[in-house]
Structure 1
Amino acid sequence: MTDPRTWLVTGASSGFGEAIARTALSRGDTVVGVARSAERLSALASGDSPGRFVPLVLDVLEAARFDVAERTVRDVVAEVGRLDVLVNNAGRTQIGALEETTEDEFRALFELHVVAPAALTRAALPVFREQGGGTVVQMSSVGGQVTMPGFGVYCATKAALELLTETLADEVPGVRFVVVEPGAFRTGLFGGGAPVLSRELPACRDTVGPTRRYVTTGGGTQPGDPARAAEAIWQVVTGDRAPLRLVLGPDAVEGIGARLDRLRAELDQWEELSRSTDLPDAATPAG
């Protein structure tokens, strides 16, 4: 039997974070759940896992600073003894064309979706190396590969986190990295007041308007079940092997599959021109 694990889950008060925390707790693990207030964590703190749920009040944007991230991980290990799984889950939806997005909105989303997870991952790696292993779960999105008008900045943050993590998988042997790419799941991401809606410009109404309507009216209609997603994540975290990218939901599978087909077709179509740019005397790479 595997010894109980210790999980650090950001954004643990709702959605995927809460579902992952509940799944881990139900298996006898310890969970350090992060949210911006203790009240947000009260449902988990009052559950039937006394002593195994540790609330941590922290605005994840603060952890975008490397020193804060390092102190946070250090304090977690001092409090619970070890860290086995880091789940970078905290996030939000932002809707707006690039022209509609303010500088503050743009920078804040990159801080939340890229810099903070990178800082926490960076802080956890020495712990995992010393322990001889660990797992980093990056909660991305189908938007890390598939774009939609109005989601450009959001998708850019997820794509950046995915490529950073793909590199880490080569840089840090012995640590398991899992990028989770969910499709439409019934979380609170589209709930009232949750999405950041950039100021609408008339010039973008026809392209971004349908996305705005989808986000502002589609909450509660998504087909995906967060509890089943959490179970799938549990399986790859605790199993003998895991994919680098875990795609969740039929819509995500179909959307990403179609994108890969388009990329292959475009590469093939332009291959002759692409290959024509070496110096005439350049050696052909072995292969």
Structure 2
Amino acid sequence: MKTWLITGASRGFGILVAEEALRRGDRVVASARNPAAIVERFGSTDHLTALPLDVTDSASVTDAVDAAVDSFASIDVLLNNAGYGVVGAVEETSVDEARKVFDVNVFGLLAVTRAVLPVMRAQRSGHLIHISSVAGFTGSPGWGVYAATKHAVEALNESLHAELAPLGIRSTAIEPGTFRTDFLDASSLAAAGSEIADYVDTAAVSRQWSASANHAQVGDPVRAAKAIVDVAHMQDPPIRLALGSDCYARLRKKFATLNDDLAQWRSTTLSTDYRGPEGA
């Protein structure tokens, strides 16, 4: 039996993972800014605690972690799921709009992770699971700022994995492609307030897609939730896990491009090593 703390658990992957974990007999502390939807969906059960949590509020984070430990005495899995997106060209996205999405997707994730780690270090066990994105490896028109937040999550995950493995704690980044969650709803995706005509063939296309593709994406979120719970129960979980055929295709293309770039510029890359006076 695992004890989970899930952020952003009122909808999307958060509530589906909570449902799957409960189905398997795990205990779940499900948190969200408004936990009413959690209570409405699951009712009252000994294996579930629903809590308010705003990942951008340090006091709220501390209170939620303390309450989770009070409820079940441990935290075995932290699912960093809280987050949202912003669509618009980089130039169209204001500093304030960018800061808000970084506050949730990066600094909120960091705050909850830092609050949970003392519990896991004391246990000498635990598993951090972070919802990243295909955008954590690939940038595309209209998604630059959102992708930047998920690139940050990928970097944090790799470092956390290296730092925590000797302590018996795992860290995994989940990289979904497009799934039929509510991510493209206005409640999860903001549009940059500025629109510049020069981006009509690039970022504007992404704006249009986000308005038309909602709930028609290739990915099945129920299947994704099952895969995420599977990862939490693995003895040797992956450092990262791509989900969805579209994610798989985009990552393969990105890796091929990186390999081509390395090969093409190999001589320039290697020429910059220090050789000393004799090798100058």
Shorter-chain-normalised TM-score: which range? over 0.9
Per-residue deviation, 1:192:
4.5
* Paired position in structure 1 for 2:258: 263
- The answer (yes or no) to whether the contact 1:22–1:44 under 8 Å persists in 2 is no
Instruction: Confirm whether residue 184 of structure 1 aligns to residue 181 of structure 2.
Output: no
* Paired position in structure 2 for 1:26: 23
Per-residue deviation, 1:225:
1.0
TM-score (norm 2): 0.94
- The answer (yes or no) to whether the contact 1:141–1:181 under 8 Å persists in 2 is yes
Relative to structure 1, the CA distance from residue 88 to residue 239 in structure 2 (aligned partners, 3 Å threshold; closer, same or farther) is: same
User: Which of structure 1's runs of 4+ aligned residues deviate more than 6 A?
Assistant: none
Amino acid at match of 2:115: A
Per-residue deviation, 1:282:
8.6
Instruction: Confirm whether residue 158 of structure 1 aligns to residue 150 of structure 2.
Output: yes
Relative to structure 1, the CA distance from residue 169 to residue 270 in structure 2 (aligned partners, 3 Å threshold; closer, same or farther) is: same
Instruction: Confirm whether residue 88 of structure 1 aligns to residue 80 of structure 2.
Output: yes
* Paired position in structure 2 for 1:77: 69
Segments of structure 2 that go 5 or more residues without pairing to the other structure are none
Instruction: List aligned pairs for 1:30-69, cutoff 5 A.
Output: 30-46=27-43, 50-62=45-57, 65=58, 68-69=60-61
* Paired position in structure 2 for 1:116: 108
Instruction: List aligned pairs for 1:7-26, cutoff 5 A.
Output: 7-26=4-23
- Encode CA deviations 1:128-157: one digit per residue, 9 max, x unaligned: 111120000000000101111010000000
* Paired position in structure 1 for 2:122: 130
- Encode CA deviations 1:98-126: one digit per residue, 9 max, x unaligned: 11111221111111111111111112112
* Paired position in structure 2 for 1:194: 188
SS state at 1:206 partner: coil
Q: What fraction of aligned residue pairs are identical, expressed as a percent?
A: 39
* Paired position in structure 2 for 1:241: 236
Cα distance in 1 for residues equivalent to 2:62 and 2:52: 16
Q: Number of residues paired by the alignment?
A: 276
Segments of structure 1 that go 5 or more residues without pairing to the other structure are none
Instruction: Confirm whether residue 98 of structure 1 aligns to residue 90 of structure 2.
Output: yes
Instruction: List aligned pairs for 1:203-242, cutoff 5 A.
Output: 203-242=198-237
TM-score (norm 1): 0.91
Two-structure CA RMSD over aligned residues (Å)? 1.8
Amino acid at match of 2:173: V
SS state at 1:188 partner: coil
Amino acid at match of 1:126: P
